[in-house]
Amino acid sequence: MDALLPADWFDRPAPEVAPDLLGRHLELPDGVVLRITETEAYTAYDTACHANKGITPRTAPLFGPPGHLYIYLCYGIHRLLNLVTDSEGTVGCVLIRGCTIVNGRPTVRTRRGGRTDLRGPGKVGQALALDVGWSGMPLARVRPLASLGVSEGTPVAHHHTTPRIGIDYAEPVDRDRLWRFVAGKKRSRSR
DNA sequence: AGAAGGATTCTCT
DNA sequence: GAGAATCCTTCTT
């Protein structure tokens, strides 16, 4: 099995961590292993970032130490997975927007209601059976609640960048940043 | 206490 | 391509 990425691996700016996460593996103790194929970076002074209007109970993990989880409910339906980057006190995170299944396909199929495509952050959350109660917890292979780990996997040879999705509310300068990272050469999109 | 709005997805057409 | 589903967080009276 791959070596886990230590917490300080995430102690870098989010736009640097995000492309480096492509090809890495998300591992759950139930045997589900996903390969990350699409990410987005969010930073401080970024009007697309949930933390840009100050710290709140929900967004507190974004201000915390690297290598922790930030999970929130989107549109009342979807649980979205973020990995906190940068040092404690500095806002930064990477949204996991898409994956492919490495292991545990039957489990994912059950959780996804018969489907196995994981293009889109809500689908990833469903495949991992994310719980917002995990938000703020550290990554680790074995823990009572947030039993989620990120391992080395196989970094990708090629990726391309695009503007981030679903952040029309942000300032134009932030909307235009090429902070969405997709594994492989230019091909399909997530929506 | 009330209201607004979303880092989305699915199902139609 | 358009519209509904759905509920929590946050901001405003």
C1' (C6) to CA (A131) span, angstroms: 17
Q: How far is the CA of A103 from the C1' of B1 (A)?
A: 48
Which nt has its C1' nearest the CA of A73? C8
Q: Rounded distance, CA A114 to CA A121, Å?
A: 17
- CA-CA distance, A71 to A78, in Å (whole number)? 10
Please tell me whether the overall predicted TM-score, pTM, comes out greater than 0.85 for this model.
yes
* pLDDT above 50: residue A57: yes
* Cα–Cα distance, A156 to A24 (Å, whole number): 8
Give the CA A74 to C1' C5 distance in Å. 12
For chain A, the first-to-last Cα distance in angstroms comes to 33
Q: How far apart are CA A150 and CA A171, in angstroms?
A: 32
pLDDT per position as a tens digit, A143-183? 555 579 999 999 999 999 999 999 999 999 999 999 999 99
Confidence of residue A190 (pLDDT cuts 50, 70, 90): very low
